[in-house]
Structure 1
Amino acid sequence: MIRQTHYQGHSSIPSLALMNWLTGQGLTGLPENELLRGFCERCCAEGLELSRGLVVIDTLHPIYEGRGFRWSDRPSNESDAFEYGSTADGDAAKSWRRSVFFHMLENGHDEMVIDLAEAPSMDFSQIGDLAEKGHKHYLAFVHRFGENGALGLMDCLYSCWTTRRESGF
């Protein structure tokens, strides 16, 4: 099941301490992968059972189109930070067009929740793999910059989150 909704699934709003930590560490220049790791670990400690987090942002770079950062509650062979090239051509373009984020941009959605039990019937890249690894729900956001914050095609930040909790988010 896919829902476009204003997320209200978890009854506990992130604590002021978590928001202060995130803001403070961001302002001190903590590397993005460490910022994501610290945020996810603190969410888990407060009872929000995250199993995976991914944050992606386009960059102003001559070679890389963007950078991404991953966190998982279990060890994996995935790097916690990565760069990616152009998504305009070839396999990268095909993968991008099958992504949840592309679907969200094309349909004007800022957030989307997917019940991963229905993953086999969906044609989004990576969704089936997440379901096979035991994740239950997928929550994605496109955080758009204001008009004055956009720099060319760099106009939003993408994030997605999963949980293995049976009842989902």
Structure 2
Amino acid sequence: MGIVDNVSFENRCGHFRADDENGELFAWLIDAGLTGTRVRDLFTEFCERLNKRGVRLKRGNIALSAIHPQVSAFMYTWRRGEGLVTNTNFLHSDIPGEGWFASPFFFMLTNKIPFLHRPLTQGSELDFPVLVEFRDEGMTDWFCQIFDFGWGFENQSLETSAGLITSWASDRPGGFTEEEFRILSKAIPVFGLAAKGIASFRTARSMLETYIGRDTAGKVLSGQVRRGSVDSINAVLLYADLKGFTTLSDTIERVELVEMLDSYLDHMASPIEAVGGEILKFMGDGILATFELTTADERSVQEICKTALDVTEKMKEGVDRLNVKRRDISKPTMELDIALHVGEVMYGNVGSETRLDFTVIGPAVNEVSRIEALCDDLGANLVASGDFVRTCADAAASLRSCGFHELRGVREPIELFRRD
């Protein structure tokens, strides 16, 4: 978002007229929060605008909580004359170091203190090592303000409810002036509100992508949430299932069982996601995924089918590698069975008035699961339907017929193919 566009906002927005420089700053923050500017860009330009407004800001830092399966928080640091100098993601698996426990942030969070101010005057005794470092670098004043977003969950990395930690430092002799504090005391909360607005949508998208997949999340966020709203698509269907999981679940401790399952599902899901396949569901120890046949072009169909076949090979290789590692440390292992099918399915919202599932339904979905159930009987780890082979032609040349077989709930026997 450019400066010219931002400055002209007060002329475009009838419900907010900027009468002075502070009003222009607030108008820009409101516009940025409503239009969804990235938080890192919002923060960077906010710091730059404060300096242009006359606030002698030397350093700014924010840490923003994240609701994400891997990342617990994002941190950005800005310095005058250098711009954004730190862009750090904190993972859930990260173990805080001694610096965190000795920081003013940890002190404030554990004692529920939302605001802390420390003049960085020479000779003063400072109670946090990082503030001594700032003073030695020539900074003269520092304060921190924390905003709780009210999302109501515990974030282990920040040790508080989700929100925003901000800190600001000046190198003006004597520290921040009264006028600078007056500007900051009004501007920073508006910045926090804009950051929350942006983070709320990105959090929703992250959560939807985590639980229902990237493409499906995009459809839901675009407003496709009406019950019974479905589209028909033609797709390659992949159904994969781990053999022996049910037996192992009765003999392994819960924590170890979940860790084992996650490891296997990782090796199964990664090849699908790497080529743009859509994982629709994790069903216990299984996966249902689709590769949409978006075009009638024969070459494109062949490429998609070949991609699906290649994915099954990579899934098998990944599980085999994992099994070798687990056997080396005397851990139980599982094998993988996969089925491939192709057909028209209905893709959309199904459920009750208040609880919907964005999924695929139709005979082809039931059939692919029935095909996978025959892997053991056919002595194969990959079984494909005749429909898949006929649709994919050259791409399925490596598969050989196993004859016709009955599928539970399907009236006519269908021809099945296996990979040697």
Report the TM-score when normalising by structure 2.
0.33
From 134, 137, 149, the counterpart of 1:130: 134
Find the structure with the greater CA-based Rg. Answer: 2
Unaligned runs of 5+ in 1: 1-12
Question: Which of 132, 157, 168 is the aligned partner of 2:164?
Answer: 157
Tell me how far apart the structure 2 counterparts of residues 161 and 128 of structure 1 sit (CA, whole Å).
Answer: 15
Identity of aligned residues (%): 24
Q: Does 2:119 correspond to 1:115?
A: yes
Aligned equivalents of 1:129 and 1:168: distance in 2? 16
- Structure 1 runs (4+) deviating above 3 angstroms are 86-89, 118-123
Matched, 1:72 2:76: no
Distance 1:160 1:65, change over 3 A: same
CA distance in 1 between partners of 2:126 and 2:61 (Å): 20
Flag the 1:87–1:103 CA change in 2: closer, same or farther, 3 A.
farther
Aligned mates of 2:77, 2:103 — CA distance in 1: 16
Aligned-partner Cα distance in 2 for 1:56–1:118: 28
2:43 counterpart residue number: 36
C-alpha RMSD of matched pairs (Å): 2.6
C-alpha separation between the residues in 2 aligned to 1:85 and 1:28?
Answer: 28
Change in Cα spacing, 1:14 to 1:84, as seen in structure 2 (3 Å) is farther
Q: Deviations along 1:82-134, whole A, 9 cap, x unmatched?
A: 21234873xx2422211111111222211111112268733524222211221
CA contact (8 A) 1:135 1:163 kept: yes
Instruction: Note the C-alpha offset of 1:18.
Output: 0.5
Q: Which amino acid counterpart does residue 102 of structure 2 have in structure 1?
A: R
The structural deviation recorded for 1:39 is 0.8
**Secondary structure of 1:167's match?**
coil
Instruction: Go from structure 1 to structure 2 and tell me whether the alpha carbon gap of 1:96 and 1:14 turns closer, same or farther (over 3 Å shift).
Output: farther
Q: Which amino acid in the other structure matches residue 79 of structure 2?
A: S
- Is the 8 Å Cα contact of residues 115 and 136 (structure 1) preserved in structure 2? yes
User: Residues 144 and 66 of structure 1: is their aligned pair in 2 closer, same or farther, counting only changes over 3 Å?
Assistant: same
Q: Which consecutive residues of structure 2, in runs of 5 or more, have no partner in the other structure?
A: 1-19, 156-160, 177-420
- Structure 1 residue 19 displacement after superposition: 1.0
Give secondary structure in 1 for the equivalent of 2:143.
strand
Within 1, Cα distance between the matches of 2:89 and 2:123?
27
SS in 2 for 1:159: strand
Contact 1:56 1:157 (C-alpha < 8 Å) held by counterparts: yes
- Residue in structure 2 matched with residue 5 of structure 1 by the alignment: none
Which secondary structure does the structure 2 equivalent of 1:68 belong to? strand
Which deviates more, 158-167 or 13-22? 13-22
Compared CA separation, residues 33 and 150, structure 1 to 2 (3 A): same
Correspondence list, 1:1-169, <5 A: 15-75=22-82, 78-79=85-86, 81-86=87-92, 89=95, 92-117=96-121, 121-146=125-150, 149-153=151-155, 154-169=161-176
Residue of structure 2 equivalent to 1:7: none
Change (3 A) 1:142 1:68: same
Bigger drift between 117-126 and 51-60 goes to 117-126
Counterparts of 1:61 and 1:119, CA distance in 2: 43
Q: Residues 61 and 118 of structure 1: is their aligned pair in 2 closer, same or farther, counting only changes over 3 Å?
A: farther
SS in 2 for 1:19: helix
